[in-house]
Amino acid sequence: MTHTSSPVSSAELDEIYAFAIDLGKRAGKLLLDTVEKRIDGGSAGDSALLASEEKDSSVDIVTQTDEDVEAFIRTEIQSKYPSHKFLGEETYAKGSSRDYIIDSHPTWCVDPLDGTVNYTHLFPMFCVSIAFIHNHVPQIGIIHAPLQNQLFTSCTGRGAWLNQTHRLPLLQKPSIPPLPANAPSGCIFACEWGKDRRDTADGNMYRKVESFLNMAAEVGGREGRGGMVHGVRSLGSATLDLAYTAMGAFDIWWEGGCWEWDVAAGIAILQEAGGLVTTANPPEDPDTAPIEDVRLGSRLYLAIRPAGPSETETGREGQIRTVREVWRRVRNLDYSRPGS
């Protein structure tokens, strides 16, 4: 069943984009305010936060911040666009179902705080993520990492930007670099250890580590699967992994287990910047299988940075070649949707 919602005009989209950018800036500022309270000790009014810290119940700080920032974003959106749907991480987490609920209606998909572990420890790699989705397509993406002083924004047809001044990917002149001829060698590979740490034979943790090893090992090693990537990076934020892939700083991001609010804004930004997103799990024949567009609710993602042409292939051809080279080296991950 394909239902299509009435189109949004170009002028309307411009207005929504401006609203979303402002909202992302203000939400990031809220996150930063809670950090500053924690650093400076704050006044009597912050005693709850400080008491939490003292008791090492840092989980409480995160939950409170998550809820406060999501409530702020939801209120602003519902006030400005009462007909739009809203899907937030906190709201969804409290529901009973894990069904994928985004339909063709104009929908905001929001993670008030991605990188919660980083936030707790004050490692700067945390952010707010706001996406506007219409007819199943993420059209606007806003990612604000306030302690990094980085604001990533995009809107269909308007480009993807860092801090509203630098077009993504960052390296544009004289041209966007092609992917390395021997990719994944020469690439920065971003991946995450995630939360599934069960010591189960052939479970997700071991499948991930086997995949990381194949990507990292010397060429010729690992029974021919060694990818000798230039570097392996783990930041603890799926959202920022996608943002840095859109920026061109990471060449490849491969991950399972994320939810739609973790990736919706990042996918919007990456695609608008010229990147490619498909599924993490390799098909039966990675050499010939079609490269299907990512499904937002699939929980399995493989992203390739924007790429320019080389002397022998288009940028898109280089991306597809890189997808296949990754698929040859990674294992299937088991992150089905509970209840689906």
Least distance CB 77 / its own copies (angstroms): 30
Q: Is 248 helix (H, G, I), strand (E, B) or coil?
A: coil
Among 63, 64, 120, 135, binds its own copies (CB under 8 A): 120
Q: Which tokens sit at 152?
A: 């990533």
Nearer to its own copies, 17 or 250 (CB): 250
- Provide, rounded to whole angstroms, the least separation between the CB of residue 170 and its own copies: 5
Q: 155 has which bridge partners?
A: 140, 159
Among 130, 188, 300, 330, binds its own copies (CB under 8 A): 188
**DSSP 8-state symbol, 56:** T
> What is d(CA 192, CA 235) in angstroms, rounded to the nearest whole number?
7
Q: Which two three-digit tokens encode residue 241?
A: 């992994």
Q: Please, are residues 283 and 289 in contact by the beta-carbon 8 Å criterion?
A: yes
Among 232, 314, 336, 337, contact with its own copies (rule: CB under 8 A): 232
CB within 8 A of 105, min separation 6: which ones? 5, 84, 85, 134
d(CA 332, CA 111): 26
Name the residue nearer to its own copies (CB basis): 84 or 207.
207
Strands of the sheet containing 252-256, edge to edge, are 188-190, 252-256, 300-304, 276-278
User: Crossing angle, helix 58-80 and helix 47-54, to 10 degrees?
Assistant: 140
Token pair belonging to 298? 């699939």
> Does 99 carry a binding-site annotation?
no
Binding of residue 101 to its own copies (CB under 8 A):
no
Residue from 158, 207, 233, 295 in contact with its own copies (CB under 8 A): 233
Stretch that binds its own copies, among 73-81, 83-91, 186-194, 262-270 (CB under 8 A): 186-194
Q: With binding defined as CB under 8 A, does residue 314 bind its own copies? A: no
Under the criterion CB under 8 A, does residue 289 sit at the interface with its own copies? no
Place of tokens 């990042």: 266
Q: Name the residues that contact its own copies, by CB under 8 A.
A: 38-42, 50, 53-54, 56, 117-118, 120-124, 148-149, 166, 170-175, 177-178, 180, 186, 188, 193, 197-199, 205, 209, 212-213, 216-218, 220-222, 226, 228, 230-236, 244, 247-251
